[in-house]
Amino acid sequence: MSTEPSRPRGLGVERQHRDVNVARFATSHELNRMGQDREPNEDATDLDLIARWKAGDERAATALVERHAPALARFAASLGERADVEEVVQDTFVRAFASIESFRADSALRTWLFTIERRLILDRRRSERRRRSDASLDEADAATEFDALDGMVAEEAEARVVGVVQRLSRLQREVFLLRVNEGLSYKQIAEIVGSTEGAARVHYHNAVRAVKELLYV
């Protein structure tokens, strides 16, 4: 992430990770296959791509998925989704595209996608909780919830950070990760978690304080 070039704020989060995301998630074969299509899509806005998809251009849908899937996958994994990250991301896109007409252009597409994904994850957790009839599922799962990340965290310090973040409350964790990992503003975060800008700010600073205490005290 630190390799990303500096960009002025306000360009839209959907553009901030574009280069890195495409490179990370597309194989060389896919890049070669989509090479000539990628250039025009680079400068296209989300609204342009949506309009092109509605006109029947499937490459626009591909560009949108490439642009936003990595962030969605990262967010799902950071919230403790285990082996179902890809399924969550796919369901998010399917649901979003099925109701694309309800997308309001006054918010970023990525913010809207995060909102849908978060609801999906919460619904899946509720369903799982009902299925297992286990009221203490959160505590029981706490030890294994981040198993999917364990294999990906190389260093001990980073593994420790994952453990610390997992001890935050759900809302604190969501706000903290959206702010730190995705670089979203408090306004966007509030929209995603269904809170207020001020509350999101408080959750973030409480989370930072808790993480620092758990890591260094």
Partner 1 sequence: MSDCANVDMRELLPDFAGGTLDAQTHARVEAHVASCADCASELETLRLVRRAFANAPSIDVQRIVAALPQPSAVPAADSRSRPSVRRWTDWRIAAALTMITVGGLSVAVTQRMRLSNSVDSSLVQQRPESVVTPTSVPPAVRGSGATTTQPAIPPQSQAVHPVRAEKAQLSFGGGVDGLDRAAIEALMGALDEIDRAPVAPSVEPDRAPLLPVITEGRR
Kindly give, in sequence order, each residue whose CB lies less than 8 Å from that of residue 59, ignoring residues fewer than 6 positions away: 34, 37, 41, 52
CB of 137 to partner 1, least distance (A): 22
User: CB–CB of 193/171 below 8 Å?
Assistant: yes
Closer CB to partner 1, 44 or 153, in the complex: 153
Q: Which is nearer to partner 1, 46 or 66 (CB)?
A: 66
In the complex with partner 1, the residue whose CB is nearer, 78 or 195, is 78
What is the rounded distance in angstroms from the CA atom of residue 110 to the CA atom of residue 49?
13
CB 96 to partner 1: min, Å? 9
Kindly tell me which of 74 and 125 has the beta carbon lying closer to partner 1.
Answer: 74
Compute CA 217 distance to the chain's CA centroid, rounded to the nearest angstrom: 30
For partner 1, the closer of residues 34 and 129 by Cβ is 34
Q: How far is the CB of 54 from partner 1 (least distance, A)?
A: 5
How far from chain centre, in Å, is Cα 101?
22
Token pair of 105, please?
């252009």
* H-only helix segments in the chain: 13-16, 18-25, 28-43, 46-54, 58-78, 85-98, 109-132, 137-142, 147-150, 156-166, 170-180, 186-193, 197-216
Closest distance of CB 119 from partner 1, Å: 18
What distance in Å separates the CA atoms of residue 145 and residue 49, rounded to the nearest whole number?
A: 35
Q: Name which of 38 and 119 has its Cβ closer to partner 1.
A: 38
CB of 43 to partner 1, least distance (A): 19
Nearest approach, Cβ of residue 106 and partner 1 (Å)? 15
Binding residues vs partner 1 (CB under 8 A): 1-9, 16, 25-26, 30, 53-56, 58, 61-62, 65-66, 69-70, 73-74, 76-78, 85-86, 89-90, 93-94, 97-102, 148-149, 152-153, 155, 157-159, 161-162, 165, 176-177, 179-181, 183, 205, 208-209, 211-213, 215-217
Residue 16's CB is within 10 A of a number of other CB atoms, namely: 20
